[in-house]
Amino acid sequence: MAYTIENVDWARDKHRLKAIREDVFVLEWRVPQDSEFDERDASAFHVLLLEEGEEASLPIATGRLTQCGEIGRIAVKRGYRNMSVYRALFAALIEVANRHNVTILKVSCSLDSVSYHQGLGFKPEGQVFMDGGVARQRMQCPVERFPFPDVSQMH
C-alpha cells in the first residue's frame, strides 16, 4: 500500500481528524467523547495518514504532537493496524518535532506498560493521572533517542 502523510491544521481539518478518533476511541475503545477531544487539539500539530487509492485518498490514521512535546491521540482505523502504518505515523510526528525544535518527546501510557517504556529509555514524568477512566503515566525521552513505543498502550 502507498501512504501519504499530511500535516494538517485542527481548525481546517478537524472533521477528518475527529472522524478517525471517534471511530477508534469513542466507538471501539468506549472512551467518553468529552474526554477524547480537548483544548490542546487547537494548538497541537496534527498528522493525517492517507491510503492512496486509484480515485481518492482514504484517511486511515492520525496522531498529534502538543506544544509541550507530547505525542498522543494515535488512532489507526481497524484493518490498517500494521507496523508500516505506525512507523509512518511516528516518523511524521518526529519530523514535526524536529522542525519545531521540540527536544523532549513525551508519551502517556497505561500503568501496566510503564516498565516496558522504561526499558526503552523513557523516564516517568509527574504523577499518575486519569484519562478517559484509565490510569496513565507520562513518560519522556530526548527526541534523538525516541524509540518506537508500544503503540497498543498509547492514547
CA atoms within 13 A on the CB side of 100: 19
- 137 has a pLDDT exceeding 70: yes
Spell out the residues 6+ positions from residue 106 whose beta carbon is closer than 8 angstroms to its own. Answer: 68, 69, 70, 71, 125, 138, 139, 140
Percent of the chain with pLDDT over 90: 71
Output the DSSP codes for 43-85: HSEEEEEEEE-SS-EEEEEEEEE-TTSEEEEEEE-TT--SHHH
- 155 has a pLDDT exceeding 70: no
Q: What is the pLDDT of residue 55?
A: 78
Percent of the chain with pLDDT over 70: 95
Is the Cβ–Cβ distance between 80 and 110 less than 8 Å? no
pLDDT digits (tens, 9 = 90+) for 29-87: 888 888 889 999 999 999 999 998 877 789 999 999 999 999 999 999 999 999 889 98
Q: Which domains does the chain have, with CATH numbers?
A: 3-153 (3.40.630.30)
- 124 has a pLDDT exceeding 70: yes
pLDDT digits (tens, 9 = 90+) for 100-114: 999 999 999 999 999
Q: What is the pLDDT of residue 54?
A: 77
Q: What is the pLDDT of residue 89?
A: 94
Q: What is the pLDDT of residue 38?
A: 92
Q: What is the pLDDT of residue 152?
A: 57
Categorize the per-residue pLDDT at 117 as very low, low, confident or very high, splitting at 50, 70 and 90. Answer: confident
Query: What value does the mean pLDDT of the chain take?
Result: 91
Does pTM top 0.85 for this prediction? yes
